[in-house]
Structure 1
Amino acid sequence: MPLPDSSSRDILHTRSITMHGYLRSDGLVDVEAHMLDRKPEELVFADGRRLAPGEPLHDMAVRLVVDQNLCIVDAVACIDASPYRVCAEAALAVREVIGFTIGPGWSSMLKNRFTGRRGCTHLSELLRPLATVAIQALWRMRKDAPEKTDGQGRPLKIDSCYAYAATREVVKMRWPGHFKEEGTP
């Protein structure tokens, strides 16, 4: 179902983000994000540079290389267009995620390492959802792995999202022993 119609309007900004996951010949997985921002009007930067309407304001990409356990074994970024020339230097900060494992605490780690003067806001915005892309990309290789559970044997997926709420039909079908009727503790 598409969004409902809106009022008459003029475009102010376009941001396109594409993300892909690739299985490499060495068994590792590349997850990549590319972001492109465009404005419909000419921009003039503080240093006098001009950006024609529709030319990229931001053009940046990130690649994470992860193993089957979601450990990041390599990371690289590039900034091909930005408002300030110095922005391209921020791409090097992405290498700081090497050695981290995608999972609980991912967003907090990014916030602590890439906010303010330590990193690029836009690259950080790309790194957050790359975690989900990595998980989705590895699905085929991990689909037959045992379900992760807590100490009581309850699958960790339960209550991790709307569909997996303990009171929903998905839990009733997949894990009937953990299903809860609406309103029960």
Structure 2
Amino acid sequence: MTLPDAQPRTRLHTRKFVYQCYLRDDGLWDIDGELSDVKDYPYMLHSGEIPPHEPVHNMHIRLTVDDSLTIKEIVARTAHAPFPDCMQTAGPMQAMVGVTIGPGWRKEIEQRIGGVKGCTHLRDLLSNAATAAYQSVSAHALHAHLNDRNSAMTQGERPHFLDKCMVWALDGPVVKEYEPHFYVSPSSEQGK
């Protein structure tokens, strides 16, 4: 399914986020991310004109995390940016080493490298890397668990994704069918 046909229009800007996730031979995980901003017209900045289809921004990060999603290493590179000083913005990213991706992730980013302590675009890239990390590290663990025919369903600790999306609502049919021990009937919710 795609979006419906649009009204006549002219594309002016494309922003892309791409994340690739790798399980390393040493058991750690690499989350590689790239952000690019490209204009379809000559774009004037304080520092000069960027030709059409040339990146205004092109930035890369690599987060190395363990199974608990704690950042062990971080590398950031800026290939294209409006100002030469933007090339210096990778250093502050080191303040994120030791942080665990999870609840409060965006708040940690803001406290450690927010505002003038870091780069807006690298923060965007880092912020969205959390979802890629969950989709690789956590999803891989769940996949292995569900493929183990001798393993019970997730009866212990509540999975992080429950009650974070309308499909995984605790009182919904998906939880009732696939995670029934966490299911809460709508009538018991009203009694709270």
Q: Smaller-chain TM-score range?
A: 0.7 to 0.9
Superposed CA deviations along residues 2-40 of structure 1, whole A, max 9, x for unmatched, are 111221101111112110101112111100110111111
Per mean C-alpha deviation after superposition, the further-off stretch among 173-182 and 29-38 is 173-182
1:7-18 alignment, distance < 5 Å? 7-18=7-18
For 2:53 and 2:155, the matched residues in 1 are separated by: 47
State which drifts further: 173-182 or 63-72: 173-182
Distance 1:66 1:177, change over 3 A: closer
Q: 2:173 aligns with which of 155, 169, 176?
A: 169
SS state of the match for residue 101, structure 1? coil
* Displacement after TM superposition at 1:50 (Å): 2.8
Worse-matched range after superposition: 137-146 or 58-67: 137-146
Q: Give distance in 2, aligned partners of 1:170 and 1:81.
A: 44
**Identity in percent:** 35
Q: Which residue of 2 aligns with 1:36?
A: 36
Mind listing any 5+ residue stretches in structure 2 that lack a counterpart? 146-150
Instruction: State how many pairs are aligned.
Output: 180
Change (3 A) 1:53 1:84: same
Specify the code of the residue in structure 2 equivalent to 1:131: A
Deviations 1:74-130 (A, max 9, x none): 001011111111111111111111011111111111122222111111111111121
Residue 183 to residue 88, structure 1, CA distance change in 2 (3 Å): farther
Q: 1:108 to 1:72 in 2, by over 3 A?
A: same
Is 1:55 the counterpart of 2:54? The answer is yes
In the superposition, relative to structure 1, how do residues 169 and 129 fare at CA in structure 2: closer, same or farther (>3 Å)?
same
- Is 1:81 the counterpart of 2:85? The answer is no
Structure 2 partner of 1:71: 70
Residues 1-185 of structure 1: pairs in structure 2 closer than 5 A? 1-47=1-47, 49-138=48-137, 139-141=139-141, 143-144=144-145, 149=157, 156-182=160-186, 184-185=188-189
Secondary structure in 2 aligned to 1:163? helix
Decide which structure has greater helix share.
Answer: 2
SS of residue paired to 1:131: helix
**Structure 2 length-normalised TM:** 0.85
- Partner in structure 1 of residue 148 of structure 2: none
Structure 2 CA distance for partners of 1:178 and 1:115, relative to 1, 3 Å: same
What is the RMSD computed on CA atoms of the aligned residues? 2.0
Which residue identity lines up with residue 113 of structure 2 in the other structure? F
